[in-house]
Amino acid sequence: MQFVNAELVQAFYTPEDKQTAIQVQTLKQSDELINELLEADTYVIGAPMYNFSVPAVLKAYLDLVIRAGKTFSYDNGAPLGLLKNKRLIVITSSGGDYSVEPMKNFDFLEPYLRSVFGFLGVRDVHVFTAPGRDPQTVAAASAIVKKQIDEILSLNVVA
């Protein structure tokens, strides 16, 4: 996964008709990932919690797909998400239970993904968590999550 650097940022902000061949190549992965987002109706992200947030590779992915004019725009100065009528399913795992206090304050993964995809226009968001390290607890939580996801996907309706 490509990480943001000065060349990528410069290419992001260069109008398409003025991009050099190198800039077009620099944007290739970002463009391909954005096209996948535009074509899909449902997104599924598996994200373990690393140090209370998303793994670096997921952050790098998001940095490539959050692009002005591609996945969001500005309407009278206000951001407008361009990913309309999409569904996001997030499956998270963590070594502990971050759904209740006092650990809930340390969960930056779920709020971050909800915020980012909300910014991009995705309103139909479902987050499922399989917390813990004990194999029996993880297996039980995973079975419940799988059943819930199957139910959501069987509805085949995006809010």
Q: What is the pLDDT along the chain (159 residues), one digit of tens a residue?
A: 999 999 999 999 999 999 999 999 999 999 999 999 999 999 999 999 999 999 999 999 999 999 999 999 998 989 999 999 999 999 998 888 888 899 999 999 999 999 999 999 999 999 998 887 888 888 888 888 889 888 888 876 665
Question: Helix %, strand %, coil % for the chain, to 5?
Answer: 45, 20, 30
The Cα–Cα gap between 39 and 57 comes to: 22
pTM: 0.89
Per-residue pLDDT, 134? 83
Per-residue pLDDT, 156? 66
- Domain edges within the chain: 41-155
Most distant CA pair in the chain, distance: 57
**5-24: b (≥16 Cβ within 10 Å) or e:** eeebeebbeeeeeeeeeebe
Give me the numbers of helices (H) and strands (E) for the chain, helices first please: 6, 5
Name the CATH architecture for the domain at 41-155.
3-Layer(aba) Sandwich (3.40)
Per-residue pLDDT, 11? 98
